[in-house]
Amino acid sequence: MIRALLRPAFLAIAVGALSACALQPMYADGSSGTVATSLRSIQVQTIPGKGGWLVRNALVTKLGGDAGSTATYRLEVELDDNITGFGIRGDRATTRERRTLRARFRLVELASGTVVLDATAGSDAGIDVVSSQYATIAAEQTALERLSQVVTDQMVGRLALFIARTAPAK
Protein backbone atom coordinates (compact mmCIF):
# COMPACT_ATOMS: atom_id res chain seq x y z
CA MET A 1 0.00 0.00 0.00
CA ILE A 2 2.81 2.43 0.90
CA ARG A 3 4.60 1.53 -2.35
CA ALA A 4 1.46 2.37 -4.31
CA LEU A 5 1.37 5.80 -2.65
CA LEU A 6 5.08 6.50 -3.04
CA ARG A 7 5.28 5.52 -6.71
CA PRO A 8 3.38 8.61 -8.05
CA ALA A 9 5.43 10.90 -5.80
CA PHE A 10 8.68 9.37 -7.03
CA LEU A 11 7.56 9.74 -10.67
CA ALA A 12 6.66 13.38 -10.10
CA ILE A 13 10.10 14.08 -8.60
CA ALA A 14 11.87 12.26 -11.46
CA VAL A 15 9.90 14.14 -14.14
CA GLY A 16 10.59 17.43 -12.38
CA ALA A 17 14.31 16.69 -12.23
CA LEU A 18 14.44 15.77 -15.92
CA SER A 19 12.59 18.89 -16.99
CA ALA A 20 15.11 21.03 -15.09
CA CYS A 21 18.11 19.66 -17.02
CA ALA A 22 19.49 21.45 -20.06
CA LEU A 23 18.53 18.78 -22.59
CA GLN A 24 16.81 20.24 -25.62
CA PRO A 25 15.78 18.64 -28.89
CA MET A 26 18.37 19.25 -31.60
CA TYR A 27 15.78 19.85 -34.30
CA ALA A 28 13.48 22.02 -32.20
CA ASP A 29 11.06 24.11 -34.30
CA GLY A 30 11.35 21.69 -37.22
CA SER A 31 12.45 23.12 -40.56
CA SER A 32 12.44 26.70 -39.25
CA GLY A 33 14.74 25.92 -36.32
CA THR A 34 18.34 27.05 -35.95
CA VAL A 35 19.91 23.69 -36.80
CA ALA A 36 17.74 23.02 -39.86
CA THR A 37 18.24 26.49 -41.34
CA SER A 38 21.98 26.37 -40.69
CA LEU A 39 22.24 22.93 -42.34
CA ARG A 40 20.48 24.33 -45.40
CA SER A 41 23.13 27.08 -45.61
CA ILE A 42 25.95 24.57 -46.26
CA GLN A 43 27.32 24.41 -49.79
CA VAL A 44 28.74 20.96 -50.61
CA GLN A 45 31.83 20.95 -52.81
CA THR A 46 32.17 18.41 -55.64
CA ILE A 47 33.72 15.12 -54.47
CA PRO A 48 35.63 13.08 -57.10
CA GLY A 49 34.77 9.47 -57.97
CA LYS A 50 31.64 7.36 -57.89
CA GLY A 51 31.67 7.22 -54.09
CA GLY A 52 32.06 11.00 -54.07
CA TRP A 53 29.08 11.41 -56.35
CA LEU A 54 26.97 9.18 -54.10
CA VAL A 55 28.07 10.96 -50.90
CA ARG A 56 27.58 14.45 -52.36
CA ASN A 57 24.07 13.68 -53.60
CA ALA A 58 23.13 12.18 -50.24
CA LEU A 59 24.58 15.21 -48.42
CA VAL A 60 22.69 17.70 -50.59
CA THR A 61 19.47 15.76 -49.99
CA LYS A 62 19.92 15.43 -46.22
CA LEU A 63 21.08 19.01 -45.71
CA GLY A 64 18.00 20.34 -47.47
CA GLY A 65 19.19 21.25 -50.96
CA ASP A 66 22.15 23.03 -52.50
CA ALA A 67 22.69 26.37 -50.73
CA GLY A 68 24.04 28.10 -53.84
CA SER A 69 24.52 31.85 -53.36
CA THR A 70 22.90 31.90 -49.90
CA ALA A 71 25.59 29.69 -48.40
CA THR A 72 27.19 30.53 -45.05
CA TYR A 73 29.45 27.48 -44.98
CA ARG A 74 31.31 25.31 -47.49
CA LEU A 75 31.73 21.60 -46.86
CA GLU A 76 34.90 20.05 -48.25
CA VAL A 77 35.06 16.25 -48.29
CA GLU A 78 37.96 13.90 -49.09
CA LEU A 79 37.03 10.23 -49.50
CA ASP A 80 39.19 7.15 -49.14
CA ASP A 81 37.51 4.12 -50.74
CA ASN A 82 39.43 0.87 -50.30
CA ILE A 83 38.72 -2.79 -51.04
CA THR A 84 40.92 -5.33 -49.25
CA GLY A 85 40.86 -9.04 -50.01
CA PHE A 86 41.23 -11.63 -47.28
CA GLY A 87 40.08 -15.16 -46.61
CA ILE A 88 42.58 -16.66 -49.04
CA ARG A 89 42.00 -20.25 -50.22
CA GLY A 90 44.69 -22.82 -50.93
CA ASP A 91 44.79 -21.81 -54.61
CA ARG A 92 45.47 -18.19 -53.51
CA ALA A 93 41.99 -17.01 -54.54
CA THR A 94 40.28 -14.42 -52.35
CA THR A 95 37.03 -15.58 -50.75
CA ARG A 96 36.11 -12.44 -48.82
CA GLU A 97 36.62 -8.69 -49.23
CA ARG A 98 36.17 -5.69 -46.98
CA ARG A 99 35.18 -2.38 -48.51
CA THR A 100 36.07 0.61 -46.37
CA LEU A 101 34.83 4.15 -46.97
CA ARG A 102 36.38 6.93 -44.90
CA ALA A 103 35.66 10.63 -45.19
CA ARG A 104 37.60 13.58 -43.85
CA PHE A 105 35.39 16.62 -43.93
CA ARG A 106 35.94 20.27 -43.16
CA LEU A 107 33.29 22.92 -42.61
CA VAL A 108 34.60 26.30 -43.75
CA GLU A 109 32.91 29.56 -42.78
CA LEU A 110 32.71 31.51 -46.04
CA ALA A 111 32.84 35.00 -44.50
CA SER A 112 36.21 34.46 -42.83
CA GLY A 113 37.58 31.42 -44.67
CA THR A 114 38.13 29.74 -41.30
CA VAL A 115 37.80 25.99 -40.86
CA VAL A 116 35.30 25.70 -38.02
CA LEU A 117 34.98 21.90 -38.01
CA ASP A 118 37.48 19.26 -39.11
CA ALA A 119 36.27 15.70 -38.54
CA THR A 120 36.12 12.19 -39.97
CA ALA A 121 33.45 9.61 -40.64
CA GLY A 122 33.69 6.06 -41.89
CA SER A 123 32.33 2.59 -42.13
CA ASP A 124 33.10 -0.76 -43.72
CA ALA A 125 31.25 -3.72 -45.17
CA GLY A 126 32.11 -7.34 -45.80
CA ILE A 127 31.65 -8.83 -49.27
CA ASP A 128 31.61 -12.50 -50.24
CA VAL A 129 33.64 -13.23 -53.35
CA VAL A 130 31.75 -15.82 -55.40
CA SER A 131 32.51 -17.65 -58.63
CA SER A 132 30.46 -15.16 -60.65
CA GLN A 133 32.53 -12.06 -61.29
CA TYR A 134 29.36 -10.10 -62.09
CA ALA A 135 27.85 -10.98 -58.70
CA THR A 136 31.02 -9.93 -56.90
CA ILE A 137 31.13 -6.58 -58.72
CA ALA A 138 27.42 -6.03 -57.99
CA ALA A 139 28.05 -6.76 -54.30
CA GLU A 140 30.97 -4.29 -54.27
CA GLN A 141 28.76 -1.58 -55.82
CA THR A 142 25.92 -2.28 -53.40
CA ALA A 143 28.36 -2.05 -50.51
CA LEU A 144 29.57 1.34 -51.78
CA GLU A 145 25.98 2.61 -51.98
CA ARG A 146 25.24 1.46 -48.41
CA LEU A 147 28.51 2.82 -47.06
CA SER A 148 27.94 6.21 -48.70
CA GLN A 149 24.60 6.47 -46.87
CA VAL A 150 26.14 5.48 -43.53
CA VAL A 151 29.02 7.93 -43.90
CA THR A 152 26.62 10.69 -44.95
CA ASP A 153 24.43 10.07 -41.90
CA GLN A 154 27.49 10.31 -39.65
CA MET A 155 28.59 13.55 -41.28
CA VAL A 156 25.17 15.20 -41.07
CA GLY A 157 24.83 14.15 -37.43
CA ARG A 158 28.22 15.64 -36.62
CA LEU A 159 27.40 18.85 -38.52
CA ALA A 160 24.06 19.18 -36.72
CA LEU A 161 25.70 18.63 -33.35
CA PHE A 162 28.34 21.26 -34.12
CA ILE A 163 25.69 23.78 -35.17
CA ALA A 164 23.50 23.04 -32.15
CA ARG A 165 26.44 23.67 -29.82
CA THR A 166 27.78 26.81 -31.51
CA ALA A 167 24.91 28.64 -33.19
CA PRO A 168 22.99 31.20 -31.16
CA ALA A 169 19.33 30.31 -30.60
CA LYS A 170 16.71 32.07 -32.71
Give the per-residue pLDDT at 23. Answer: 47
Question: Do residues 52 and 81 lie in contact, with contact meaning Cβ atoms separated by under 8 Å?
Answer: no
Give the residue, 130 or 29, on which the prediction is more confident: 130
- Helix or strand run (H / E) with residue 79: strand 73-88
| CA dist., res. 21 & res. 139, Å (int) | 47
Give the per-residue pLDDT at 65. Answer: 78
Domain ranges of the chain: 27-166
Q: How many CB atoms lie within 10 A of CB 165?
A: 8
Question: Do residues 47 and 155 lie in contact, with contact meaning Cβ atoms separated by under 8 Å?
Answer: no
Give the per-residue pLDDT at 7. Answer: 66
Give the residue, 78 or 9, on which the prediction is more confident: 78
Which of 3.30.70.520, 2.60.40.1080, 3.30.160.150, 3.40.50.300 is the CATH number of 27-166?
3.30.160.150
pLDDT tens for 69-116 read: 688 999 999 999 999 988 777 787 888 999 999 999 999 999 999 999
SS3 38: helix
DSSP string, 17-34: HHHHS----TTTTGGGSH
Q: Is the pLDDT of residue 30 over 80?
A: no
